Structure 1
Amino acid sequence: MMYRLVAELAMVAHFAFLAYLVVGGFLAWRWRRTIYVHLAVVAWALFSLASHVECPLTDVEDWGRRNAGLPQLPPSGFIDYYIEGVVYPEQYTNLVRLGVAVLILFSYVGYLLRRP
């Protein structure tokens, strides 16, 4: 029971991370100092995409799933398991990534324009 909870909390943290990746720049319009956290989140996302380094949350979720007797995530990882082919068709992956990048850039432009 405890291992399953660990796996599920890691999954929720993953979704929260992705949500913050998309909207965190807009949150910085109101809470200006959070831009530094968002820059770190964007840097991690770019690094993991470019280097194919697995997110530590994936390891935590896999550990919890394995110890709970559940199947592990596929080698392709969290996004391929929970998002691609579920939230949007797999063939639109690059379009979705571009859309996220545009949203982030738009949020940063707004952040800069809203400077006091």
Structure 2
Amino acid sequence: MMTLNSENGTAVRLEKVSFSYGEAPFLFDVRFAASKITAIMGPSGSGKSTLLNLVAGFETPQSGRVLIGGGDVGGKPPSARPVSMVFQENNLFAHLSVERNVGLGRSPSLRLTEADHAAIAA
């Protein structure tokens, strides 16, 4: 099982990852620290969702590596990556609480353990 806390304290790393939508090229070379909250901000079209989709495996880099917990997840499908995404408001399930929406990423059946509840609340 992969842990998100790698030896150097980096949970997620995009290492010289390139991706483009038509004429819009993106290059990501960034580290996200373990156990920290990080805000990704920028104008529309600046690559925020693209970055998250690359980490989650919904998009495939043209070059570079995506590492989670120090392991290269480039060949793994989204279901095999230890990450969750809460999509923009129009894609949330309005009948579920924030905790339950986040919980879907941990267990699609929403059968959450006490450890899951604690991790979501943290």
**Fold in common (TM above 0.5):** no
Q: TM bucket by the smaller chain?
A: under 0.3
Q: Which has the higher contact order (CA 8 A, sep 6+)?
A: 1
More helix by share: 1
Scaled by the length of structure 2, the TM-score of the pair is: 0.26
